Amino acid sequence: MATPIRIIVADDHALFREGLKSALKLHTDVVVVGEAERVDELTLLLANVVCDVVLLDLGMERNSLIDIANLAERARVVVVTASEQPEDAIDAIRLGASAVVFKRFAVDTLMDAIRTVAQGQVWMPPSLQAHIAAGLRSAVPDPLTPREREIIRHVALGLRNAEVAKKLFISEQTVKTHLNNVFQKLGIRDRVELTLYAARVGIIGIHERSA
């Protein structure tokens, strides 16, 4: 028979800890080896008790986000929280937590998370996964090369192609080629639109445009 997953429950609400321990006892592949209601108690426990997974409430006597990195060096951390703010959950994962489980979820969901992280994997609620995926899809990379941005800046400041070429030590034809590429990439038709674009995205300051 496999060794049960050893768990410490860290939450400042005694009733929640008792309820969680009672629920976990129904599963033979886990065993609660300790509990804590303060972060300093948890740190002491981890120094003296062999533990695989810590079930950590973010809202203890202080925001436990600041403790996750240190705790994650000693055991896998499953954040169990009433807060469903995506930012808190993402910060927890970034700092070293292996899972985030919202308290409104059933114990079966928590068990899925515990078993997943015990195998060295990361577990997240589907809603959080969707939030992260949406963020990745919206993070469109900059279509412009550094040279194109440099040319846009000079053109937006009022320089002619020949002046840009002289300033950048390239041919006037090269400037024209870069500008044509920029117009196609951005769907821009002329220098006026290019200047407005440059100001909007910060290539030039709004008060930096030449008269």
Burial class (CB in 10 A: 0-12, 13-18, 19+), 87: exposed
113: number of Cβ within 10 Å = 24
Token pair, residue 129, equals: 């996964």
Asked if residue 89 lies in contact with residue 114, where contact means CB atoms within 8 angstroms, the answer is no
Rg, C-alpha atoms of the chain: 27
**pLDDT by position in tens, the chain (length 211):** 689 999 999 999 999 999 999 999 999 999 999 999 998 899 999 999 999 999 999 877 666 777 888 898 899 999 998 888 888 888 888 888 999 999 889 899 999 999 999 999 999 888 888 877 777 666 556 788 889 999 999 998 889 999 999 999 999 999 999 999 999 988 888 888 898 888 878 888 644 554 3
Contact 204/211 with Cβ under 8 angstroms?
Answer: no
Question: Which class in CATH covers the domain with range 146-201?
Answer: mainly alpha
Structurally, what CATH architecture does the domain formed by 5-137 represent?
3-Layer(aba) Sandwich (3.40)
| Helix ranges (DSSP H) in the chain | 14-24, 39-48, 68-71, 86-95, 107-118, 126-138, 146-156, 161-168, 172-186, 191-201
Segment 130-178, tens digit of pLDDT: 877 777 666 556 788 889 999 999 998 889 999 999 999 999 999 999 9
The DSSP letter of residue 122 is -
Q: Report domain extents, the chain.
A: 5-137, 146-201
